[in-house]
């Protein structure tokens, strides 16, 4: 076989790279773990749209592996014959003979067996290029493309164009228009095909094949820009494991909500709090703390820091908007000092970056912090309900930094003096005062 040029990276290396990606590693870390440079890993991930284009399961032992080819090369240099090599590898002599004949390096006019060249030639011969179903079936492709990116219509059939949006090769930005389309998901398209064409096998396709046609370069015949019609709008497909791990190094198993004391669930013991941020215009924010038993609310003042808006934003610079981890940590620590120690047993927060310094907060205040599971706001439902009440005073899309400390205290006082059905029409302030008096009486009774 004539050498067609420089050999690419071996398939087993690329397969190991995608296995690491599936485990949640970043592109750079996965590449380095497989002996490849970080930029190469980033290029693989980008060109394949975040999806592996090869089978990740281990290959069967029917074919020679790269390790066996390396062994063949070493034994050949030592002068061993075909049958001796076959006995050492527990392979048929004919297998070794064909391998030495077919996959030897031919540069220089001589047959020299090298493991890397042999593996490359074997992978070239094993390729079985196959035209994808979407590329071969115009009717199926039109159906899929219309349900995915077709224009929306009014009930009378008149087409509505929607805002004009240009695909820029990456995910749509925040607070930006998106392309209007029918936007059926690949799973909806795949299952609807079975309903509309139940007896036509040519009009059946899996949702994974549609995703591959969208994300993998050169696979299928769907245009790359149609990923903007997916509900996520992602230009690259993100592995499921990475969505839970990337950028959340401060999340450890010890601080997950599953380890929170059971007494916090039934609200029988006061002192278990829930917290979050409500976000406003230009990254302004107000912190909220709610006690689970009494529904007593405290608001955290998070003003802009000095230098905010004075110059261009510095990448990876200090968070001057007021909602950084240090500002939130200090604000919570200041609130802890407002109540007796026995009324601060735990704090439950979501996995936002603003709580990244929870370990230091626990050291400073002695209050253990527990984090909710991803995309599980119901695990701090009391706080979510309170945030909804606060939106009456701090609507979305408004600048929250214009409110002073006294303004927040006034709003918190309004909520805390409002009767609640869940408290038998008592107010949170009355419920908290009752608990404080009860704790004080117990303290006096226990004093000798």
Chain segment 251-305, per-residue pLDDT in tens = 888 899 999 999 999 898 899 999 999 999 888 999 999 999 999 999 999 988 7
User: Furthest-apart CA pair in the chain: how many Å?
Assistant: 102
Long-range contacts of 199-202 (CB under 8 A, 24+ apart): 202/137, 202/139, 202/140
pLDDT > 50? residue 1: no
Q: What is the pLDDT of residues 376-422, one digit of tens each?
A: 999 999 999 999 999 999 999 899 988 999 999 999 999 999 999 99
Structural domains in the chain plus CATH codes: 11-126 (no CATH), 133-240 (no CATH), 253-445 (3.30.420.10)
Average pLDDT over the chain, rounded to an integer: 83
Stretch 9-13: mean pLDDT: 70
pLDDT > 60? residue 247: no
Query: Lowest mean pLDDT: which of 52-66, 142-156, 196-210, 274-288?
Result: 52-66
Q: What is the pLDDT of residues 66-121, one digit of tens each?
A: 788 888 889 888 888 889 988 988 889 998 888 888 888 777 667 788 887 887 78
Stretch 345-355: mean pLDDT: 93
Q: Which residues of 343-364 are buried (b: 16+ CB within 10 A; e: fewer)?
A: bbbbbbbbbbebbbbbeebeee
CB 385 within 8 A of CB 372: no
What separation in angstroms does the CA of 265 have from each of 81, 277, 358, 426? 73, 22, 21, 21
Interatomic CA distance for residues 297 and 274, integer angstroms:
10
- Tell me what pLDDT residue 436 has: 86
Q: pTM of the prediction?
A: 0.52
Interatomic CA distance for residues 176 and 165, integer angstroms:
9
**Residue that wins the pLDDT comparison between 26 and 171:** 26
**Residue that wins the pLDDT comparison between 358 and 109:** 358
**Residue that wins the pLDDT comparison between 325 and 245:** 325
- Tell me what pLDDT residue 421 has: 92
């Amino acid at each position: 076989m004539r050498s067609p040029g420089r050999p690419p990276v071996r398939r087993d290396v690329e397969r190991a790279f995608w296995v690491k990606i599936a485990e949640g590693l970043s592109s750079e870390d996965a590449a380095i773990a497989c002996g490849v440079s970080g930029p190469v890993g980033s290029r693989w991930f980008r060109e394949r749209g975040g999806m592996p284009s090869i089978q990740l399961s281990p290959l069967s032992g029917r074919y020679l592996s790269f390790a066996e080819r390396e062994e063949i090369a070493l034994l050949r240099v030592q002068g061993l014959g075909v049958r001796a090599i076959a006995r050492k590898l527990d392979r048929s002599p004919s297998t070794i003979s064909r391998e030495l004949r077919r996959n030897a390096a031919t540069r220089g006019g001589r047959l020299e067996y090298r493991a890397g060249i042999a593996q490359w030639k074997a992978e070239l011969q094993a390729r079985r290029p196959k035209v994808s179903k979407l590329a071969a079936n115009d009717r199926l492709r039109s159906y899929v493309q219309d349900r995915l990116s077709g224009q929306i219509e009014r009930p009378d059939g008149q087409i509505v164009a929607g805002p004009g949006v240009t695909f820029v090769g990456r995910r749509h930005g925040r607070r930006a228009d998106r392309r209007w389309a029918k936007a059926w998901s690949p799973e909806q398209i795949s299952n609807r095909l079975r309903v509309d064409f139940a007896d036509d096998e040519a009009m059946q396709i899996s949702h994974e094949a549609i995703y591959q046609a969208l994300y993998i370069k050169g696979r299928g015949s769907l245009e790359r820009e149609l990923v903007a019609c997916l509900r996520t709008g992602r230009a690259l497909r993100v592995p499921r494991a990475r969505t839970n791990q990337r950028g959340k190094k401060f999340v450890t198993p010890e601080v997950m909500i599953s380890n929170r004391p059971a007494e916090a669930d039934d609200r029988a013991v006061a002192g278990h709090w829930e917290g979050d941020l409500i976000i406003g215009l230009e990254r302004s924010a107000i912190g909220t703390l709610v006690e689970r038993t009494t529904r007593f609310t405290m608001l955290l003042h998070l003003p802009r820091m000095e230098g905010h808006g004075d110059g261009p934003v510095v990448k990876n610079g200090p968070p001057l908007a007021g909602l950084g981890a240090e500002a939130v940590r200090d604000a919570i620590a200041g609130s802890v000092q407002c109540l007796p120690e026995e009324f601060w047993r735990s704090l439950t927060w979501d996995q936002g970056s603003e709580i990244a310094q929870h370990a230091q907060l626990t050291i400073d205040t002695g209050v253990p912090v527990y984090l909710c599971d991803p995309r599980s706001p119901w695990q701090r439902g009391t706080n979510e309900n309170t945030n909804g009440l606060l939106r009456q005073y701090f609507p979305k899309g408004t600048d929250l930094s214009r409110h002073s400390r006294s303004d927040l205290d006034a709003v918190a006082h309004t909520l805390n003096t409002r009767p609640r059905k869940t408290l038998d029409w008592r107010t949170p302030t009355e419920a908290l005062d009752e608990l404080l008096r009860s704790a004080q009486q117990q303290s006096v009774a226990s004093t000798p």
